[in-house]
Structure 1
Amino acid sequence: MTDSTRADARPEDSGSAGAAADSSGPEEPISAPEASAGAKVRVGDRIFSGIATGSGAFVVALIAAIGIFLLIRAVPSLQVNQVNFLFSRVWDTSDPDDLSFGILDLAWITVASSLVALVIAMPVSGGIALFLTHYAPRALARPFAYIIDLLAAVPSVIYGLWGALVLAPVLDPVASWLNGNLGWIPIFADGNVRADSGANVFTAGIVLAVMILPTITGVSREVFQRTPTAQIEGALALGATRWEVVRTTVWPFGRNGFIGGSMLGLGRALGETVALTIILSFTFAPPNYSVFDAGATFASKIALGSAEFNNNLQVGAYISAGLVLFVITFAVNALARWIENASGKEKA
């Protein structure tokens, strides 16, 4: 074959190859069979989707029903209340025809004990979570984490008895020292019970801190474990110490998750009933807004007032307090979820 023949043959060959390529492109829709196969939903998928959707809707409806129930039962009592519900320190529901109930003192004891617990539990839980995820050997981390998780299985009444009979005598010298040397600070001033009595917000806060420890530690541990390995190895390759790795990579990555777990622990502390009833319910004197106060929280007040649940208006007074606790707890948990979602978006 001459050069001219080869030259004439090449365009034909390339043209036929191009035509074959052009003809083969649109004639083979790859995604069409897959799309048609994927469009067919199996019966099991439909059943599971329906159950999952129905379960989610049921939970939302249940929460809404609880809130509506509390509101309906609370309104009649609030309408006949003789004092300001939010700012009064009086709680007298003995006479259904002359109800006087306010939640100011209940709110103080509830919030103060929960905040004391949070201030103590947050650094301890964060330290435990960091130790288990980045310092402890694997053989020690797993059983230690299991022991921490077991704290959540201890009944509240056991915590209450432990706090009143075992922990309170141990804390009496500490409480006396704080009251004697820092009493010029209002939070450590004299309360409505003796500082060394053990039956005060100070003791209750420490007991609550132990109770919420597994919640905060569990969430924090899961978040810290998800720190990207590439970031940790990069910091180590640059010569960072283990603490510098934690400070520059692990903590920034898991900070929002740690705060979200702390908010979940706070919600747990706000609703505690039995333990705080055992520790704090030794006086009916109004609190002095000190950590050495005793009294009732929202939950313990409702528990202690069960003997008065024989009149709709009296019951409505306690339900009004329960409604406030419901709103506070719901708001705290919603804040925790928002913080976790914001953390996830930042990482993405």
Structure 2
Amino acid sequence: MAVHGASMEAAGPYDRARALSAFKLGDKTFYWMTRLSALLVLVLLGGIIISLIIGAWPAIVQYGTAFLTTSRWAPSADPPVLGALSPIYGTILTSAIAMLIAVPVGLGIAIFLTELCPMWARRPIGMAIELLAGIPSIIYGMWGFFVLGPFLANTMQPALINLFDGIPVLGSIFGGPPSYLSLFNASLILAIMVLPFITAISRDVFATVPPVLKEAAYGVGCTTWEVVRNVVIPYTRVGVIGGVMLALGRALGETMAVTFIIGNSFRISPSIFAPGTTISAAIASEFAESDGLHQSSLMLLGLLLFVLTFFVLAAARLMLMRLQKKAGS
């Protein structure tokens, strides 16, 4: 035993040096792999931006800032008259309506699952909500075209048109005639598509609230609504806003489902029941048959969508930073 111990002590320094060398090599390898992965993301992002700018450059030179203020889209005219105002209007409007519908519903489902739902029903309901995120967008579009669109045009839209008829502003927003293909129908499809993102993220962040905080609130006589409003929401607002912004990014860029049901009409109407188009829907429906200045204009639309999404996500990040700073102070 003494001899064996002596031999181990003799071999100890060499083994430790070799082990340290192996650890350093593994640490350096890991460091450079993570750094290259991060750089790869930046390279890909930069490549996409450069490709969009190169493809859109002829349209930028031809139209300049007038591209943003022109609503007419006539690629077959001589010379072509192409403007992005209608797709930009449709993109912002459909995303805004979708978020107005999806955010309250998604937060309500998340609150129900974490605070009110029986334990035996939480898992099935949660799985059902998450499965909505796995349905392909083209399936949503087909369902919207064949089922939801006719249902809304025959039931909900006539009722809203009659309800707000003659009322200033609202009469124009909910003006007729009913349509199977409209901005409102596309917005409703978008709301259904982004609902799982809002619900899943909100449910996960609501679950991180320490039980002792809620128990203390209940202990002083707070109702469930007061606990949610004064404890759960303030504690998790950063995560909730992050989930909402993630859903908004999905709504801004959704393509196939919107293309099926929005009508693809390049015009601006005050009525949400009128057909319209979005940037992504315009690109999807026309890019395959485009060339020359028409194709360049579609590339410029893609660049505008990229910039719009970037500013939305940047604004969300600034908002989260301010909330975190305020919470820290």
TM-score range, shorter chain: 0.7 to 0.9
Q: Distance in 1 between matches of 2:223 and 2:50?
A: 55
Q: Tell me the residue number matched to 2:304.
A: 324
Q: Does the CA-based 8 Å contact 1:257-1:343 persist in structure 2?
A: no
Call closer, same or farther: CA 1:157–1:322 in 2, change over 3 Å: same
Where do residues 260-299 of structure 1 align in structure 2 (5 Å cutoff)?
260-281=242-263, 283=265, 286-299=267-280
Please report the TM-score for the alignment, with normalisation by the length of structure 1: 0.81
Call closer, same or farther: CA 1:187–1:264 in 2, change over 3 Å: farther
State the secondary structure of the residue aligned to 2:66. coil
Q: Distance in 1 between matches of 2:178 and 2:317?
A: 39
State the secondary structure of the residue aligned to 1:227. coil
The letter for the 1-side match of 2:307 is V
1:189 equivalent in alignment to 2:169: no
Which of 60, 73, 76 lines up with 1:78 in the alignment? 60
Q: Does the CA-based 8 Å contact 1:212-1:265 persist in structure 2?
A: yes
Q: Does the CA-based 8 Å contact 1:113-1:204 persist in structure 2?
A: yes
The letter for the 1-side match of 2:312 is V
Q: Distance in 2 between matches of 1:345 and 1:141?
A: 34
Q: Tell me the residue number matched to 2:187.
A: 205
Which of 216, 219, 232 lines up with 2:201 in the alignment? 219
Call closer, same or farther: CA 1:44–1:136 in 2, change over 3 Å: farther
Q: Does the CA-based 8 Å contact 1:189-1:292 persist in structure 2?
A: no
Q: Distance in 2 between matches of 1:64 and 1:274?
A: 26
Q: Distance in 2 between matches of 1:136 and 1:342?
A: 33
TM-aligned CA deviation for residue 71 of structure 1: 1.5
Q: Does the CA-based 8 Å contact 1:302-1:322 persist in structure 2?
A: yes
Q: Does the CA-based 8 Å contact 1:121-1:212 persist in structure 2?
A: yes
Where do residues 1-348 of structure 1 align in structure 2 (5 Å cutoff)?
41-81=23-63, 84-94=66-76, 98-172=79-153, 173-183=155-165, 184-186=167-169, 188-189=171-172, 194-281=176-263, 283=265, 286-311=267-292, 313-348=293-328
Call closer, same or farther: CA 1:60–1:342 in 2, change over 3 Å: farther
Mean Cα deviation higher: 62-71 or 328-337: 328-337
Q: Distance in 1 between matches of 2:321 and 2:169?
A: 37
TM-aligned CA deviation for residue 46 of structure 1: 2.1
Identity across aligned pairs (percent)? 38
Give unmatched runs, 5+ long, in structure 2: 1-18
TM-aligned CA deviation for residue 344 of structure 1: 4.4
TM-aligned CA deviation for residue 194 of structure 1: 4.8
Call closer, same or farther: CA 1:227–1:309 in 2, change over 3 Å: same
TM-aligned CA deviation for residue 278 of structure 1: 0.8
Please report the TM-score for the alignment, with normalisation by the length of structure 2: 0.85
| Number of residue pairs matched by the alignment | 308
Query: C-alpha offsets along residues 22-76 of structure 1, whole Å, 9 cap, x if unaligned?
Result: xxxxxxxxxxxxxxx9999532222222211211121122112211221222122
Question: In terms of Rg, which structure is larger?
Answer: 1
Q: Tell me the residue number matched to 1:5.
A: none
